[in-house]
Amino acid sequence: MTSTVEFLSTLPLFHSLSPQELEALEGIVEKSSCKKGDVIFSRGEVRDRLRIVHSGRVKLEMADAVTADWDEFTTIFGPGQFMGEATLLQDGMIHRATCTAVSDGAFLLLRRAKFLGFAATHPEAAGKVLMAVGAYMFQRVSGAGSNAISAPLAVAYSTGRKRMEHDLLGDREIPAECYFGVQTLRARENFHVSGTTLRSFPVFVRSLAEVKKAAAIANARLGLLDATLADAIGQACDEIREGHWLEQFVVDMIQGGAGTSTNMNANEVIANRALELMGRPKGDYAVLHPNNHVNLSQSTNDAYPTAVRIAALHSIPVLTDALTELCVSLGEKAREFSDVIKMGRTQLQDAVPMTLGQEFEAFRVTFEEDIARIREAKALFYEVNMGGTAIGTGLNAHKDYGAEVVKALREVTGLPIVRAANLIEATPDTGLFVFFSGVLKRLAVKLSKTSNDLRLLSSGPRCGFGEINLPPMQPGSSIMPGKVNPVIPEVVNQVCFQVIGNDLTITMAAEAGQLQLNVMEPVIVFNLFQSVTILTRAVRSLDRLCVRGISANRDVCRRYVENSIGLVTALNPHIGYENSTRIAMEALATGESVFNLVLKSGLLSKEKLEEVLRPENMIARS
């Protein structure tokens, strides 16, 4: 069997083929090489082949595709990963992405035209390939728990083949296609709780990989880990950091064991992908072991909380960027509405005049304050307990490992990470999460209050305030024609309620810690990342789907001012509080305007009254 056939046999698309069918397929497979910087294909070109990365790495960029957080899609593919598989199912498809080589490498190519010829002579083998492609495509479309366009090489089907793995509880069969192992399997069976798995928070999975890569680098530098193994672990971690293998992180976010199942899920996926990159089968742990090599010098109790902190450091700028964009939009609206006179209200009652621009400027300022508070909290996440292992004493770690792994973490993440001064204190301490969750709750409260204001100001359109118009997003009723609801502020309100509830859960879980470890960290992590994620999306939704499209009903705002009893407040310095109160009560009782009642009373001349009651003169411009 040739090396090409051996390589093809490792690919999920061809797992079902017999050795003879693989040899026949090899006859139509072409080989191609590339240099760093080469453009492999460009957006808009016709897809006519399946490309399999044999060696090296390539980058895919899709400018018009965005993730759930509105970020542009980009990822890197490495050995054993493939692109353009859909061309085997359908002709005339167009590349939506541009592919560029980030290193020298080689491809195996399977052209559609040649595959159709292969199908004519080997229909059963071609049918197996097409079924695998179809299953894989379905998994990508369904998202595999992640963005559909960024779910590369998902395990979308099973060949029925198994491998045996062993742990202290005995032997278990694992589907051959799976990169996770026996400890992940047990955790998956044990924890059917939230229905939200690790893969739902890609930033956390990415950060776990960064911790594992840094540990491998540190162990290799200290002579504790063979360089070949360290390189394979590092490459597997890099692929995970790029968004690959996300579907393999299947453990529920809420779990017993203080995060051990999360740690082992990462260890097993990294070990098995590293083995594959070394040309070894999954499960060949005598060569590279999840515990002995990937988890070397670590405990869940330092690797897991360190990954949480790094994930927070990656997530916080995304949230503050979203808030900054919202502030820009609010500032633009403040300038647009700077000449729109309206009534201010206190306790839902008429108060004194202001501009709609001043109201939106106040919204902007309140969120700028939150950006500052979040950035202050971010600085606390730089301190980690890596090297402390189980309880902070550093048992089973080299004396220089702690300093070395923190150095490697800085290199891998680009973050100014430092080691905690007292690892025994740092290991069970979850006070940071309580503090940060409180900052998020503050933002949620203010975001919800602003959403309430937008709903009130846009209420009506004819029997409410009606001072602003929110952009119509969808029909609002199945029974009332023409009704349009403020759905974006409504969903933001609900997100904020969830975040406020999450804060209580985090507080209770932090309090429940005992002695040298807080075993409740998984529920803290789940709620913390849920809060950051849904707040970020809510802020972007409010900005892009609501605030940017708001318009003012200028005439309505002006009419309210002119008919408001609140104008009488401006008369206090001129006619006194008692006279002003009498005028206000009479206006309420008779429906007559404040202007006419003051004229009738002879308290002020018409000229003076016009000057005093001009709304523009009652608005502070500072």
Nearest CA to 303 out of 270, 272, 262 is that of 262
Tokens of 597: 């009642």
Half-sphere exposure of 275 (CA within 13 A, CB side): 23
Structure token pair of residue 480:
């009332």
- Cβ–Cβ < 8 Å for 415, 382: yes
Q: Which amino acid is at 448?
A: S
Q: In whole angstroms, what is the distance from residue 542 CA to residue 551 CA?
A: 15
Nearest to 234 by CA among 469, 370, 429, 408: 408
Contact between 156 and 85 under an 8 Å Cβ cutoff? The reply is no
Neighbours of 48 (CB within 10 A): 16
Contacts of 332 (CB under 8 A, 6+ apart): none
Reported as half-sphere exposure (CB side, CA atoms, 13 A), residue 392 has a value of 18
**Which residue type sits at 296?**
L
As a whole number of angstroms, the distance between CA 260 and CA 248 comes to 16
Sign of CA dihedral 126, 127, 133, 136: negative
- For residue 408, what are the CA distances in angstroms to 215, 219, 271, 330? 7, 10, 20, 41
Q: How far apart are CA 536 and CA 314, in angstroms?
A: 13
584: number of Cβ within 10 Å: 18
Q: Could you tell me if 21 and 122 are in contact, meaning their C-beta atoms sit under 8 angstroms apart?
A: yes
Residue 75, Cβ density class (10 Å: 0-12 exposed, 13-18 middle, ≥19 buried)? buried
Residues with active-site annotation: 477
Question: Phi then psi for 370, rounded to 5 degrees?
Answer: -70, -35
